[in-house]
Amino acid sequence: MIYVYHQEINNMWYAAAIQKDRVFATAFSPREREVLRHLLGNLPYNVPFQVTETPNQLLTELLKTLRAIFDGKDNGPYGFKIALGHLPSYTRRVLNHTSLIPVGYITTYGAIAKVAGGSPRSVGRAEASNPFPLLIPCHRVVRADFSIGGYGLGEKVKLGLLLREDRGYEETRRLEVEDKELSLSPIKYLRKRLD
């Protein structure tokens, strides 16, 4: 049984779906109906779920973490077990690489494609289907020219998330991923694009 819980915190709704110790989906939205629609739409098929009125410790910690990420206050790592097994293998690869992007940095759809395979467009489609927004930071993936790119709740929300996550880093970084390098740029590159 998957348990679903949602809660309004500071005019934003956060939601999560868990089974035992694994996270199956997360969502956030300023509207209750929208947060539930997104969350329930990302649950695996043919798995029963139940809405719970009382969160257990995992749900409480998960929603607290989602809020901290939204507010730009959490640096991770989070330590939650994320259930990816029901997703297509390419989406799993893209999301696993996306989960490596640290707070204060962004990367591009093309950079993810270089390590995950595929094209920037296929990476964009995988990011758009991310059932773990905030927890897997698809908002940290932007276009090659450092413009925002798409986001489920709109570009303004994505920009707000990134600006709150800016840590003032100056240097680019490279992460080794499966014998390839994922290039990361500080959020200041995005700020320069906006100016």
Residues taking part in catalysis: 138
Can you tell me the distance from the alpha carbon of 190 to that of 195, in angstroms, rounded to the nearest whole number? 9
Q: Are 88 and 159 in contact (CB under 8 A)?
A: no
Residue listed under structure tokens 């749900």: 59
CB atoms near residue 79 (< 10 Å): 7
Q: How many CA atoms lie within 13 A of 100 on its CB side?
A: 20
Among left, alpha and beta (phi > 0; psi -120 to 50; other), residue 93 is: alpha
Which of 131, 136, 134 minimizes the C-alpha distance to 160? 134
Tokens 């100016």 correspond to 195
Measured CA to CA, the distance from residue 159 to residue 179 in angstroms comes to 31
Task: Determine the residue type at 18.
Answer: I
